[in-house]
Structure 1
Amino acid sequence: MEYVNLKGARVPALGLGTWQLSGAQCAEVVRAGLAMGYRHVDTAQAYGNEEQVGEALADSGIPRDDIFLTTKVWYERIGDGELQRSVDESLRKLRTDHVDLLLIHWPNPKFPLGESLQALSDVKAAGKARNIGVSNFPTALLKDAVERHKADLLCNQVEYHPFLSQRPVLEFARSHDMMVTAYSPIARGEAATHPVLTRIGEKHGKSAVQVTLRWLIDQSNVAALPKASGEKHLRSNFEIFDFRLDADDRAEIDSLRGDRRLVNPGWAPAWDAA
């Protein structure tokens, strides 16, 4: 495993995403991932699977401190008081007294940003979150959070893959000692059949997906959260630590970056230009 080391946190650069996993399948996939060597698990209140993730963590026999666990507060629950109550609910479901990273899932202009950030900080001060951050924040909101409200954020989790440039977010994060965690890192499967990624994969004896994940975690301050629905894909996603992309590979993949955004709900903020 490789790690992103920032602000005293040691974050496995490859995590296990659990979006759209539910019930027994979710618990089974997380158990299998942990047995395989994954030590970074990402869930959210909105995924409806915190109980199954907690079950798998408890069943794994792996010491809690060896697992980096992230959950996210839903954007309708980020007011002072409600955020804290929601975190207590999440911790009960996850069968733990803390998470390693607690994120605001989406910004919500109905709640003052300073109020939400202070509530996050209060959760951290209470020992219920070792680190705090945000998700789906464009640079304008990141700047407001970090520079105006002085929030000590570890992470911004955003959609990031070869077809979506997140350069403004990446540059801001790096300049403020933050990391970016990439969700939908293989563009909901689009990366798997892309000819450029496939050709680079053939050069290294790897798949296009493995090339994509390698490209992401090769970048400074970046982690990736691929989702897998079974053991085969879990294992394939994990087998990216035995090869390296060269400068030409990286440049060719960099050239693919555009504005192919796949996640854009009605409550989304105004995104940065590609």
Structure 2
Amino acid sequence: MTTTEIPQPGFGTSGHEGETCTESVIEALETGYRHVDTAQMYDNEREVGRALADADVDREDVFLATKVHPSNLASDDVLETTEESLERLGVDQVDLLYVHWPMNAYDPEETLPAFDEVRDRGWTRHVGVSNFTVDLLEEAVDVLESPIAAHQVELHPRLQQDELVSVGLEHDIETVAYCPIAQGDVTAVETLQEIADDHDTTPVQIALAWHYDRDGVVPIPKATGDHVRENYAALEIDLTAGERERIADLDRGERLIDPDEAAWNR
């Protein structure tokens, strides 16, 4: 069990824009989500901040995460752009600040101490990393003075990331799963449909229930409209040991997000 209390589930905002973004985050918060994930790269921090201000939920009850853009990972840029993120979000502090991708301006000896500095200044409660390999994660553990609260990676039934999840647990690092329903592709997985039929639910909800059941994993599905509540309702689904084994057998190592510059391609 990891030590940082990151609320389950999170609400992802990648791809959300404008008023739809604000409305969806408000809907999520008023449904019960208490963890909202954004990033400089998403260009929607201002809209997320508006939702935090307008939702009928106290700011201190929301675990807010954002990420520093790969081009902003030089030491001075980390500090400058984090301050700009706080301004856009309308907050004095985020709960979690990530290195978004270890590429472009990323240099562990320069970048990671800047994240320590951000934490020392009180601009974030915790620091995290995203899209790291096992080797890069171990290196970050060694370089950072701050504990790593979370490692965010693509993770779904076709890409289960068992090694990264295990290494995370060894270091008390929560694994935060983006693309947890494989951008909707889980609906085409026969095994998930069969399990869903047995529970009178959907393959999406079964995939999320599987995430919710994994030790040290917090998925951050993004959604609009009715799907916001449907994803949250998957918390109520109890999978059997046999069903979890059937889902474990679906792992194919299939990535949906795979830029050439990603650490695992170098």
**TM-score over 0.5 for the pair:** yes
Alignment partner, residue 121 of structure 2: 126
* Aligned counterpart, 1:137: 132
Q: Distance in 1 between matches of 2:164 and 2:265?
A: 10
RMSD value, Cα = 1.5
**Could you tell me how far apart the structure 1 residues matched to 2:106 and 2:14 are?**
25
6 and 126 in structure 1: CA distance in 2 versus 1, 3 angstrom threshold:
farther
Residue 192 of structure 1 corresponds to 187
Question: Aligned residue for 1:263?
Answer: 257
1:105 aligned partner, one-letter code = H
2:243 to 245, 249, 256: 249
Indicate the residue corresponding to 1:87 in structure 2: 82
Name 1:182's counterpart in structure 2.
Answer: 177
1:16 to 11, 16, 23: 11
Q: 1:136-175 to 2 correspondence within 5 Å?
A: 136-149=131-144, 151-175=146-170
- Correspondence for 1:239: 233
The residue aligned with 2:67 is: 72
Distance in 1, matches of 2:143 and 2:251, equals 31
Tell me which amino acid in the other structure corresponds to 2:176: T
For the 8 Å contact 1:105–1:135, the answer to whether it is kept is yes
1:75–1:109 CA distance, 2 compared to 1 (3 A): closer
- For residues 197 and 60 of structure 1, the distance between their equivalents in structure 2, rounded to whole angstroms, comes to 34
C-alpha change, 1:149 and 1:71, in structure 2 (3 Å) is: closer
For 2:95, the equivalent position in structure 1 comes to: 100
Which residue type is aligned with residue 265 of structure 1?
P
Q: Which runs of 5+ in 2 are unaligned?
A: none
2-structure distance, mates of 1:120, 1:57: 24
Give the counterpart letter for 1:106 in structure 2. W
Q: 2:43 aligns with which of 32, 44, 48?
A: 48
Residue 111 of structure 1 and its aligned partner are, at CA, apart by: 3.6
Q: Determine helix, strand or coil for the equivalent of 1:19.
A: coil
TM-score scaled to structure 1, two decimals?
Answer: 0.93
Q: CA deviation at 1:147?
A: 3.0
Q: How far apart are residue 41 of structure 1 and its match?
A: 0.5
CA distance in 1, matches of 2:7, 2:85: 22
Secondary structure at the aligned position of 2:136 is classed as helix
TM-score (norm 2): 0.96
Deviation at 1:266, TM superposition (A): 2.5
Partner of 2:260, secondary structure, is coil
C-alpha deviation, 1:148, in angstroms: 4.9
AA aligned opposite 2:216: N
Q: Separation in 2 of the partners of 1:149 and 1:12?
A: 24
Shift in alpha-carbon separation, 1:247–1:146, aligned structure 2, 3 A: same
Deviation at 1:26, TM superposition (A): 0.4
CA contact (8 A) 2:8 2:33 kept: no
The yes-or-no answer on 1:223 pairing with 2:218 is yes
Query: Which structure is higher in helix share?
Result: 2
Cα deviation, 1:172-191, whole Å, max 9, x if unaligned, reads 11111111000000111110
> How many residues are aligned here?
266
Contact residue 37 and residue 220 of structure 2 kept, 8 A: yes
Q: SS state of the match for residue 240, structure 1?
A: helix
Answer whether contact 2:70 2:102 (CA < 8 A) is retained.
yes
Instruction: Name the residue aligned to 1:59.
Output: 54
Runs of 4+ in 1 over 4 A off after TM superposition: 148-151
Deviation string, structure 1 residues 193-242 (Cα, Å, up to 9, x no partner): 311001101111221111100101111110001110x2211011011122
- Secondary structure of the equivalent of 1:196? helix
Q: How far apart, CA to CA, are the structure 1 residues paired with 2:143 and 2:129? A: 15
2:66/2:94 contact within 8 Å kept: yes
